[in-house]
Amino acid sequence: MLFADSLLQLLTEQRSIVKRLVDNSTLKQSELTLLNIEYEANQNLWVNHRANYNRDVLDLKVLAGIADTSQVLLPDIHLISGLYFNFDSGALVFKRKNIIS
């Protein structure tokens, strides 16, 4: 949701700038209209993402047997790029055979 929020904020800033330029007759009204259409489309996309998020959280609660239906905002995850795990498949098979035996 962070991406959608930042995109809406950016479009809001652009709308105010373009509105001032249209008021000064620097840009055409059609430019502002196109930007308004883009803003509304992204706003609808944000609403759709929010509804999907709420549905998915409720589905997870049902699967986990949690009766509480209150809204929960999960914290953003921060993925570390460049983090790799080196697995030795031969060692895993050896350990698995020793555990099973």
Question: What pLDDT sits at residue 100?
Answer: 55
Q: What percent of the chain has pLDDT over 90?
A: 39
Higher pLDDT, residue 45 or 5 = 45
CA gap 33, 17 in Å, rounded: 13
CA gap 51, 79 in Å, rounded: 24
Question: What pLDDT sits at residue 76?
Answer: 74
CA gap 57, 70 in Å, rounded: 10
pLDDT-based confidence at 98, cuts 50/70/90? low
Q: What percent of the chain has pLDDT over 70?
A: 74
pLDDT-based confidence at 67, cuts 50/70/90? confident
The CA–CA distances, whole Å, from 5 to 28, 44, 45, 46, 99 equal 27, 12, 11, 8, 49
CA gap 17, 98 in Å, rounded: 68
CA gap 45, 48 in Å, rounded: 5
The domain segmentation of the chain, as residue ranges, is 2-74
